[in-house]
Amino acid sequence: MATGWIEYHSTDRCQTRWKNNILSNEVIEEILAYNKKLSEEINMCHEKIDRLNKKIDVLTDQVSELTLKNEQLEKENKQLKEKNKQLERKVQQLTLEKALISENYHALRKKVFGKSSEKVSYDTSVYNNVQLSLFPEEQPNQVNFACENGPSKPKAVVQKKTGYKAEKLKNIEKQTIIHSLLESEKHCDHCSCEMHKITVNHVRTDLIVIPRMVLAIEHKQEVYACDSCKKNGEGKIKKSKVPASLLNNSLASPSMVAEIAIQKFQNKVPVYRLEKELTAQGYTINRQEMIYWLNKCVDYYLFPIAEQMLQTILRDNIIHIDETPYRAIQAENEKSYFWVFCNGIHTLHPACFYHFYPDRGEKAISAIVQSFTGFAHTDG
């Protein structure tokens, strides 16, 4: 019995141990699975934490950038406030200046167009309770300073100005046209007797413009021969004197060249337009020919006079020099210069000399004043 019980008891213990082993393995597997699940969740949490850290870093950078932008905006806001204050001060200053200018304008307008007299006439017996203002524009409208009971002053009669047309026509050549009656009209319509002139009435004055007229004047020379000398075999002839021409072998005359110069330089008429005007009137003169006449006349007749004027200026002890810019067509530089030399109005022979040069350097006047030994007054 004892032996059987021991065997039974040992067998039951083994089964219990086996069962416990089986339970412990399952628990271990469950624990391992749970640990694995926990480790996966922990890894997922770590990943989430990493992502959150990255987002935190990005947000931190954005916060720093926004902080910098906020600081910049605050600085700009301060600058704009300062500029606004400056502009407000400028507006106030301009408002004051505008008010001052307006006041000066009204004062000047009042001085120019207002009443020049401060005298005021009124009846004290009628307007003894009226306080006069020191400023005319503030006078009450109901105050009438004209005396009703006093004698009325006669209105000034403005006389018509005479002699206006005569003053304009005093330097114009005058021609008179008398309109007479026909011989058949010089008899009275009532009694048919002959009538006689008693006066001449002035009706009106007309201004007549005579268009430009060009004449072709032919110069012919008379030639005389001696018949007595011719009989003796000696041919003696004599020719009349002919005035010298302005330019040899040219149609130019002093009046023609003077007209071209006046139209071009004084009236500012281009040569091509002058050519068209002359062509429309029936006179064909080429523009190149006009320019040729002007250049040759300047070289032959005006250049010696200009040189003599320059020498007259340089003989004085004090001269004045100045230059002014001038734009010339087809020039090398954008600006060319006209130099003027003069000796003053208090000298014996006052004169001015103009010199054209492309620039304002030393070479412009060095050749002209090379022989000058006096004082030159200029603006530098």
Whether 204 shows a pLDDT value over 50: the answer reads: yes
Q: What does pLDDT average to over the chain?
A: 82
Whether 126 shows a pLDDT value over 50: the answer reads: no
Across the range 300-319, mean pLDDT stands at: 92
First-to-last CA distance in the chain? 152
Per-residue pLDDT at 225: 87
Per-residue pLDDT at 114: 74
Whether 275 shows a pLDDT value over 60: the answer reads: yes
**Beta carbons within 8 Å of 140's beta carbon, 6+ residues apart:** 130, 133
pLDDT band at 127 (very low <50, low <70, confident <90, very high): very low
Per-residue pLDDT at 197: 86
pLDDT band at 121 (very low <50, low <70, confident <90, very high): low
- Are 290 and 277 contacting, i.e. CB atoms less than 8 angstroms apart? no
Per-residue pLDDT at 282: 84
Phi, psi of 113 (to 5 degrees): -105, -10
Per-residue pLDDT at 7: 46
Residues 134-167 pLDDT 10s: 554 444 444 444 444 555 566 666 666 667 777 8
Residues 350-379 pLDDT 10s: 999 999 888 888 888 888 888 888 899 988
The model carries a pTM of 0.49
> Crossing angle, helix 254-261 and helix 287-297, to 10 degrees?
100
pLDDT winner (highest mean) among 144-148, 319-323, 341-345: 319-323
pLDDT band at 193 (very low <50, low <70, confident <90, very high): confident
Whether 33 shows a pLDDT value over 90: the answer reads: no
∠ CA 317-318-319, nearest 5°, is: 125
Gap between the Cα atoms of 112 and 108, Å rounded = 6
**Beta carbons within 8 Å of 256's beta carbon, 6+ residues apart:** 214, 293
Residues 10-27 pLDDT 10s: 555 555 555 566 667 778
Q: What kind and span of H or E run contains 321?
A: strand 318-326
Per-residue pLDDT at 163: 72
Per-residue pLDDT at 360: 84
Whether 276 shows a pLDDT value over 70: the answer reads: yes
271 vs 230: which has the higher pLDDT: 271
142-145: long-range contacts at Cβ-Cβ below 8 A with a sequence spacing of 24 or more? 145/120, 145/121
By C-alpha distance, which of 216, 275, 283 is closest to 251? 216
By C-alpha distance, which of 176, 177, 181 is closest to 197? 181
For the ranges 91-100, 138-147, 270-279, the lowest mean pLDDT is seen at 138-147
202-211: long-range contacts at Cβ-Cβ below 8 A with a sequence spacing of 24 or more? 205/165, 205/169, 207/172, 211/281
Whether 242 shows a pLDDT value over 50: the answer reads: yes
Whether 123 shows a pLDDT value over 90: the answer reads: no
Whether 2 shows a pLDDT value over 70: the answer reads: no
Exposed / middle / buried, residue 147 (Cβ in 10 Å: 0-12, 13-18, 19+): middle
Per-residue pLDDT at 14: 54
Across the range 62-86, mean pLDDT stands at: 91
